[in-house]
Amino acid sequence: MIVAVIHINVTLADWGSVLPELIIAGGMLLLMLVDVFVPGKKVNLTTWLTLIILALAFAASWNLWRTGGMASALYGTVTSDRFAMFFDFSILISAALAVLISPGYISTSAFDSGEYYALILGAVLGMMLMAAGLSLMVLFIALELLSLALYILSGFERFRPRSQEAGFKYFLLSSFASAFLLYGFALLYGVTGSTSLIKISTCLAGHAHGCSAAATSSPLLYIGIGLMLVGFAFKVSIVPFHMWTPDVYEGAPTPVTAFMSVATKAALFAAFIRVFSMSLSTVESHWYGALWALAIATMVVGNIAALAQSNMKRLLAYSGIAHAGYILVAMAANNALGQSAVAFYFLAYTFMNIGAFVFVAYLETTGRAGDEIASYRGIFYRNPALALPMAIFMFSLAGFPPTAGFFAKYVAFQAAVQAGHVDLVVVGVITSLVSVVYYLRVVAVMFLQPAEEAAPVEQPVPPEQPPAVEQVPASAEPVTRPQLPWNIDVGIWTAALGSIVLGIIPTGLLTYASESVTAVRALFGLP
Amino acid sequence: MLTDYVPILILSLLAGGFAATNVIATLITGPYRPTREKLSPYESGMTEIQPPKQRFPVKFYVIAMLFLLFDIEGVSFYPWAIILKALRFPGFIEMLIFLAFLAVGYIFIWKKGALDW
C-alpha cells in the first residue's frame, strides 16, 4: 500500500499565536487535578492559581499584541491579530475581577468551590477562541465551550432554587439559540462553499473561482444571515431576544453574573463584527435594516424596563441590554471608527459593570440582601469606601463626562454620525437621558437617605433571611466603618480607577482600539 | 442542480421503506400478548410517571453521559489510526496531547467518584 504523506503544516509560530489559549487550557487541566488531589477546601490556593494563570495569559496576549501576532494560523482557522488580542484583554480583566470577588462568595454560600475556577477558565478559553476564530467551525465550537461552562456556572449554587432555575433557563434558551446560529452557519457555508470567514468575504465580493456569481442574491444567504442574526442577538441579549437575561443574571451567583455580563458579550461581539462587519461587509444592505431595528428596540426597551426595577442585579441586566443597544449603534455604523468604538466600549464596560457587581457581591457576603436597591439606604454613611466607587460606576454607566462610560458612548455615537445614521444617535441620546433616572436613583438611595432609617426599614424586606436578624445590632451603630476585605478593596478600586482613567485619558487606548481594527480590516481587505 | 438530490431522495425512500416494512412485518408476524409491564414505556430503568419534584438516583445518567463522552472521543482514534503512517510523527504527538486531555478528564471523574455505582 502506498501511503501518501500528509504534511502537517503547523509550525511553532502557529502554536505561539494561540499561546494565551493554550495557557488557559493547561491551567484548566491543572486546576482539575489540584481539585481532586489536594485535600480540603483550598479556596486560597485555587484562587491564586487562577489569578496567576490569567496573568500569564494576559502577558502572552500582550506579547502577541506587541509583535502584531499572526494574521492567520493553524490552517487559517484562528488569528492572533490585534483585534482578537484587544478583546482578550477585556475578557481576561473581567475574568480576573470576577475571580477576585469569588472567595468571599464561596465561603459564605452553599458553594462547592472545586470545579468552579476550572469552569471559569473553560469559559475564558471559549471566549478567547471566539474572539480569535476565523472559521465558522471554530466559532461554533468556541461558542459551545463558553456556553456549556456558563450553563453550569449559572446553576452552580445547587441548593438555591433561583440558581438552579437560572442555570436551567439559560441552558434551554441558549442552546436553542446556538441551533439558530449553527443553522445560519450551515446556510452561509452552503451559499459560499467555505467555512473560512476570509474565503466567504472574497466569494461574496465576487473574486473567487468556484463560487457562484449569484451567491450575493441567493435566498439562502438571506435566510442564513437572518438565522445568524437571531443567534448572535440572543447571546448578547438584544431585544427581542433578551427575555432570559434578567432571570439568569438575578439567579446566577453574583461573581458569575459579573463575569458573563461583560466577557460573554465582548467575545460574542468580536465574532459578530468579524462575521457581519468584516466577512459579510459586501452585502451590508442585506443586514443593515435588521440591525437598525434591533438597535432601536434594544435601546428603548432596555432603558424603559430598567426604570421599573427594584433589584440591583435585574437593573444591571436591563442596563446591560441597553448598553448592547449602544454597541449595536456603533456596529451599525460599519466603519473603522464604529468598530474601534465597540472594542473601546467593552474595555470601559468591563470596569464599570463588573465594579457594580463587586459592590453587590460584597454586600451579599455580609449577609445582607445585597441586590435589593432599597437596602442601600445611607450606605455612604456606614461604608464610604464602598459607596464612593459604586457612585463612580453608576455615573459611568449613565455616561457622565469625566468617566469611561461617557467617552465610550461618545465615540460610538460619533461613529454613527460619521456614517450618516443620525436617527440611531437621536434615539441613543434620548434613551441615555432616560437611563440617568435609574442609575442616579441608586446613587440617591446610597447618599441622600439617612442611615438611621436603614435598620427598621430593612427588616421586612428580606423576611426569610436569618442573617438579617443578627444584622440589626450591627447596623444600629453606624459609626463603625467596616474594613473591606483586601480582595474586594482591590477589585472595586481597580474597577473605579479603570472607569475614571479611561474617561480622562482615553486617547491612548482609543489609538490601541483603532490599531486593532486596522489589523482586522486589513485581514479582510477593507480600507 | 435539483437532480443532484435524486440519490438522497432514493436513499430516504429506501430508509423510510425499510423502517416501515419492519414495523408492519412485526405487527403481522409477531404474537401479541400484552401485559401491564410490557405496555409501560421504557425510560432508563426508571418508573415513568412520578411527581416531578422528587429525588431520584442519577447514577445511570452520570455513567451513561460519561460513557458517551469517552465513546465519542474514542471513536476519533479510528480515522487517526488509519492515516497514522501518513501523518508521521507530528500526527502522533498531536494525538498524545489529545490523549493527555482525555486522561486528565478520566482521572478527574474517577477521583470525584463518578464511576462508583
If asked whether residues B55 and B89 sit together in one domain, one would say yes
Q: In a mutagenesis test of the B interface, which of A21, A31, A36, A75 is the best target, namely the one with the most B β-carbons within 10 Å?
A: A36
Say yes or no to pLDDT of A470 above 70.
no
- Which one is predicted more confidently, A41 or A376? A376
Answer yes or no: is B115 within a domain: yes
The whole-number pLDDT of residue A456 equals 44
In 3D, which of A213, A235, A236, A216 has the Cα closest to residue A224? A216
User: Per the omega criterion (within 30 degrees of 0), is the bond before A240 cis?
Assistant: yes
CA distance A354 to A249: 13
- DSSP 3-state of A461: coil
**Residues facing A372 on adjacent strands:** A311
% residues pLDDT > 70 (chain A): 90
Cβ-Cβ contacts under 8 Å for A139 (sequence gap 6 or more)? A130, A133, A185, A271, A275
CB A36 within 8 A of CB B108: yes
Q: Judged by CB atoms within 8 Å, which residues 72-111 of B form the interface with A? A: 83, 85-88, 90-91, 94, 100-101, 104-105, 107-108, 111
If asked whether residues B24 and B2 sit together in one domain, one would say yes
The whole-number pLDDT of residue B47 equals 63
A35 contact B CB<8A: yes
Domain ranges (residues) in chain A: 12-458+481-523
The distance of B89 to chain A (nearest Cα, Å) reads: 9
**Domain assignment of residue B5, given as a range:** 1-32
CATH code for the domain in which residue B92 is found: 1.20.58.1610
The whole-number pLDDT of residue A185 equals 95
The whole-number pLDDT of residue A451 equals 65
Tens-place pLDDT, residues A407-448: 999 999 999 999 999 999 999 999 999 999 999 999 999 988
The distance of B105 to chain A (nearest Cα, Å) reads: 8
Considering only alpha carbons, which residue of chain B is nearest residue A25?
Answer: B101
If asked whether residues B57 and B15 sit together in one domain, one would say no
Count of CB atoms situated within 10 Å of the CB of A488: 21
Region of residue A482 (phi > 0: left; psi between -120 and 50: alpha; otherwise: beta):
beta
User: What are A96's three cell numbers?
Assistant: 480576573
Say yes or no to pLDDT of A462 above 50.
no
Could you give the angle at the alpha carbon of A200 between the alpha carbons of A199 and A205, nearest 5°? 95
- The yes/no answer to whether this complex scores an ipTM above 0.90 is no
Answer yes or no: is B9 within a domain: yes
Could you give the angle at the alpha carbon of A184 between the alpha carbons of A182 and A187, nearest 5°? 110
The whole-number pLDDT of residue A121 equals 95
Could you give the angle at the alpha carbon of A356 between the alpha carbons of A353 and A359, nearest 5°? 155
Say yes or no to pLDDT of A131 above 90.
yes
The whole-number pLDDT of residue A322 equals 95
> Who among B88, B94, B105 is closest to A5 (CB)?
B88
Say yes or no to pLDDT of B41 above 80.
no
The whole-number pLDDT of residue A271 equals 95
Answer yes or no: is B97 within a domain: yes
**pLDDT class for A247, splitting at 50, 70, 90?**
very high
Considering only alpha carbons, which residue of chain A is nearest residue B100?
Answer: A29
DSSP string, B23-88: HHHHHHHS-----HHHHSPP-TTS-S---SSS----HHHHHHHHHHHHHHHHHTHHHHHHTHHHHH
Q: How many residues does chain A have?
A: 527
Task: Write down the mean pLDDT value for chain B.
Answer: 84
The distance of A389 to chain B (nearest Cα, Å) reads: 41
Say yes or no to pLDDT of A469 above 80.
no
CB A166 within 8 A of CB A155: yes
Answer yes or no: is B39 within a domain: no
In 3D, which of A114, A122, A25, A125 has the Cα closest to residue B109? A114
If asked whether residues B58 and B95 sit together in one domain, one would say yes
Task: Write down the mean pLDDT value for chain A.
Answer: 87
What's the mean pLDDT in A366-379?
A: 79
Torsion A104-A108-A110-A113 (CA) sign: positive
% residues pLDDT > 90 (chain A): 62
If asked whether residues B3 and B60 sit together in one domain, one would say no
What's the mean pLDDT in A317-325?
A: 95
Q: Judged by CB atoms within 8 Å, which residues 36-65 of A form the interface with B? A: 36-37
User: Which residues from B are below 8 Å from A37, CB to CB?
Assistant: 111
CA distance A393 to A72: 38
* Residue given cell 434558551 in the structure block: A173
The whole-number pLDDT of residue A231 equals 94
User: Which residues from A are below 8 Å from B58, CB to CB?
Assistant: none
If asked whether residues B65 and B115 sit together in one domain, one would say yes
Tens-place pLDDT, residues A200-226: 998 888 877 767 767 788 889 999 999
Cβ–Cβ gap A5/B86 under 8 Å? yes
User: Which residues from A are below 8 Å from B5, CB to CB?
Assistant: none
If asked whether residues B55 and B108 sit together in one domain, one would say yes
User: What are A401's three cell numbers?
Assistant: 463626562
If asked whether residues B110 and B61 sit together in one domain, one would say yes
Answer yes or no: is B107 within a domain: yes
The whole-number pLDDT of residue A104 equals 80
What's the mean pLDDT in B6-15?
A: 93
If asked whether residues B116 and B84 sit together in one domain, one would say yes
| Domains held by chain B: number | 2
If asked whether residues B106 and B67 sit together in one domain, one would say yes
A476 contact B CB<8A: no
Answer yes or no: is B54 within a domain: yes
Q: pTM score, two decimals?
A: 0.86
If asked whether residues B23 and B54 sit together in one domain, one would say no
The whole-number pLDDT of residue A459 equals 42
- DSSP 3-state of B40: coil
The whole-number pLDDT of residue A383 equals 85
CB A386 within 8 A of CB A495: no
Cβ-Cβ contacts under 8 Å for A249 (sequence gap 6 or more)? A166, A257, A261, A313, A314, A316, A317, A320
If asked whether residues B27 and B64 sit together in one domain, one would say no
Among the listed ranges A105-114, A118-127, B28-37, B98-107, which one has the minimum average pLDDT value?
A: A105-114
User: What are A306's three cell numbers?
Assistant: 430598567
**Residues facing A221 on adjacent strands:** none
- Which one is predicted more confidently, A148 or A468? A148
User: What are A168's three cell numbers?
Assistant: 436551567
The whole-number pLDDT of residue A373 equals 85
What's the mean pLDDT in A486-513?
A: 90
